[in-house]
Amino acid sequence: MDGSHERALYFYVTIVIGLIVAGGLFLDGAAAVGGFVELQLRPARLLNDFFSDTGVGAALINAALVGAVGLVLVAITQVRLSGPTIAAVFTMIGFGLFGKTPFNAIPIIAGVALAARIAGKTFSAYILIALFGTALGPLVSTLAVEIVPGTMGIFAGIIGGLLVGILLPPAAMAMLRLHQGFSLYNIGLTSGFLGLFAAAFLRALTTEMPAPPFSWATEVPIPVVLAVPVLALSLIVLAFVLGGGSATREFLRIQELPGRLPSDFLDMVGPAGGLMNMGVMAILLWTLVWILGAPFNGPVLGGILTVVGFSAFGNHPRNSWSVMAGVLLGTLLFRVAPSSPGPVLAILFVTTLAPLAGEFGAPIGLVAGFIHLAIVLQTGSWHAGINLYNNGFAGGLTATLIVAVIEWYQSNRETLFRKDTE
C-alpha cells in the first residue's frame, strides 16, 4: 500500500467521522451537544444503548469523537493507517454508541502510554493495545459515577483507568499466546480477564455493587438505519477508485486467507480488495440484521461497524458465515430469539472466531459459534459489564479451548519420524 492510498484512507475516515457528527447535529440539533456532555458522566457498563440514554444525536457525536481520538493518535504516532488501525478506529466509533466516551477512554490510553515508558518502548509499539484497550472504559465511568461520590469519583476513575492501562500490554501478550491468534478480539479476552479482577475489587470495596444498567433502543430514525448501506456503497466505490478492475480480483484473493491475527488484508493483498471486503461485509451484516428483525440501535450498529473494521484485518464472508451459522443454530437449540439483545450481538461479534473456520474449515466454525453462544450469555455477569468486548472475552475462551483440543489431537496423531508412515 503506497502513500497516496494511505492519504485517501485518511481522507475517507475523516469524512466518515465528520458525517457522523453532522448526522448527530442534523437529528437533534443543540440538544445533541448537551447530550454528549451528559454522556461523559453516565454509567457505561454493558448493556447501555446511548441511543436510548441521551438520544441518537448525542450518541453519534460521542461515537465520532471517540473515533477521532483514535484517528488522531494513529496520525500522531505515525503508524500506518491500514488493516489493524482501521479496525481499531471503526471499533472505537462502534463502541462509542454503547459504552466508550472520550472521558473514559483517554485515561486508559494514557495508562498504556505509561506502560510503554516503563517497558522502554515507544507508544507506537503499543498503539493497538491502547486503542482497543478502551474496552475497559466502563471501569473509569463506574468508579467516577457509580462507586466513589462527588468530584473524588472523577479522580478515582482516572486513576483506575491509568492502572488498568498499565496492566493491558503484559496481559494482552500473554492472552495472544493462549489462542495463537485464532480470536480476532484479543483485547476482548484481555479486558475480560482484567475485568474479573476489577469487578472483584469493586465488589469488595462496596457494600452493594450497583446492578449494571440496561437500555436497548427499539425505535431508530430511518437515516440511521440507512447509514450502513451508504457506508457499504462508499467503501465499494472507493475500492474501485483506488484499484479499478483489480479490486474484485483482490477481494477474491482475500477469501482464500484464513484471517488469523495479524492479517492486514490491505497490506497482504491490496487496499482495493480490503475496502471491497469491508463494503461487502457491511451489506451482508446489515441484511442479516434486517432479516432477523433486530433494531439498528447503538449496540447493533456498533457491532456492524466493528466487524466492518475487522474486515480489513481478518474477517471476510468465507471465514465468517459458519461461525455466525453456529450461533444461529444455538439460538434454535437454546430457544432464544435471535433478534434479542444477547443473541443478535453474538451473531455479529462471533466473527472474532472466523480464523478458526478459515484455518480448519466450516464444521469447526459451526462448533465454535455454537459454543460461543452458550458461554457469552454468561460471561457478562462475571466482569459486571466492565468489559465492553464481552463477546471478545467469550470468543477468546472458546478459541483457547478449541485450539487446545486441535493442538492435542494433531500432536498425538501426527507421526514423529518418516519411517513411522511406512
Report the interface residues with other proteins, using CB under 8 A.
Answer: 77, 79-80, 84-85, 121-122, 124-129, 169, 172-173, 176-177, 180-182, 258, 260-262, 264, 267, 359, 403, 406-407, 410
Residue with Cβ nearer other proteins (186 or 390): 186
Residue 146 DSSP code: I
Q: How far is CA 151 from CA 136, 146, 205, 212, 383, in A?
A: 21, 12, 18, 22, 25
CB closer to other proteins out of 85 and 306: 85
Q: Quick one: 184 exposed, middle or buried, by C-beta within 10 A (0-12, 13-18, 19+)? A: buried
Instruction: Work out how close the CB of 407 gets to other proteins at its nearest, in angstroms, rounded to a whole number.
Output: 5
In angstroms, give the least distance from the CB of 125 to other proteins: 3
Shortest separation between residue 282's beta carbon and other proteins, angstroms = 24
Q: Please check whether residue 84 is in contact with residue 264, taking contact to mean a CB–CB distance below 8 angstroms.
A: yes
User: Among residues 180 and 215, whose Cβ is nearest to other proteins?
Assistant: 180
Q: Are 278 and 236 in contact (CB under 8 A)?
A: no
Question: Where does residue 245 rank: exposed (0-12), middle (13-18), buried (19+ CB within 10 A)?
Answer: exposed
Compute the least distance from the CB of residue 306 to other proteins, in Å.
Answer: 18
22 or 407, CB closer to other proteins? 407
Q: Quick one: 156 or 176, whose CB is closer to other proteins?
A: 176
Which residues on neighbouring strands pair with residue 48, listed in sequence order?
Answer: 215
Rounded to a whole number of angstroms, the minimum distance from the CB of residue 77 to other proteins is: 8
Q: How far is the CB of 155 from other proteins (least distance, A)?
A: 30
Could you tell me the three cell numbers for 16?
Answer: 466518515
Smaller CB separation from other proteins, 124 or 339: 124
Q: Are 281 and 316 in contact (CB under 8 A)?
A: yes
Quick one: 84 or 385, whose CB is closer to other proteins? 84
Q: Which is nearer to other proteins, 9 or 172 (CB)?
A: 172
Instruction: Put residue 209 in one of left, alpha, beta given phi > 0 → left and psi -120 to 50 → alpha.
Output: beta
Q: How far is the CB of 177 from other proteins (least distance, A)?
A: 5
- Residue 168 CB, shortest distance to other proteins, in Å, is 11
Q: Which 8-state DSSP code applies to residue 82? A: S
CA distances from residue 245 to 8, 10, 240, 276, 409 in whole angstroms, order as listed: 18, 23, 7, 12, 44
DSSP 295: -
